[in-house]
Amino acid sequence: MERRLRTLSLCLLILTLGCTRTETGPAPREAVAPVPAGVVRIEPDPATVMIRGDGLYRDEQIRGLTKDDIDAHKQSGMDVIGLPILPVVTAGETKPRSQVFRELGLDESRVRDFRQVGVNMTAFLTWQVSPSYDISCMTATNDGVVTEAALKDPARKVYGVRLLKRP
């Protein structure tokens, strides 16, 4: 009986100390980093916006992310080195992939068909973003962590972001 009372009083103490006053109302919005100069972003169009996770972006939305003509660039397979780089990550810098997607206005739940190709100490992480286009992000693999889960981690640092035609 004494043990039960001690356990009960300990639980009450933990509950009393662990509870804090909470505010009602909307949750604070996540701060969105300012979009770097030259970066185009997909802005939701109320007339055509899809429900989160409901599907890929339209081709014209993806073409609108760059001033370059994605269709005009020749590539063979995953050879993307010669394709223009989006200015979302400054040369010589890296950013978490989640921040890159956020700055471009891309919702991770709407991309699919993840693929990765490793070349030396670099991996090209590629997702389908529309029926005709992919997004490819470069990441360093010299950290030794090259599992699919680690490569798909939204916090993973990326650079060299490109849009390309699907194979």
Q: How confident is the model at residue 50 (pLDDT cuts 50, 70, 90)?
A: very low
Task: Inform me whether the pLDDT recorded for 14 exceeds 80.
Answer: no
Query: Cα separation of 35 and 71, whole Å?
Result: 25
Read off the pTM: 0.68
Task: Inform me whether the pLDDT recorded for 113 exceeds 50.
Answer: yes
Query: Cα separation of 23 and 78, whole Å?
Result: 50
Q: What percent of the chain has pLDDT over 90?
A: 49
Residue of 160, 112, 111 whose CA lies nearest to 138: 160
**pLDDT of the residue at 28:** 46
Task: Inform me whether the pLDDT recorded for 74 exceeds 80.
Answer: no
Q: Residues 40, 64: contact at Cβ < 8 Å?
A: yes
Q: Look at 83 and 104; give whichever has higher pLDDT.
A: 104
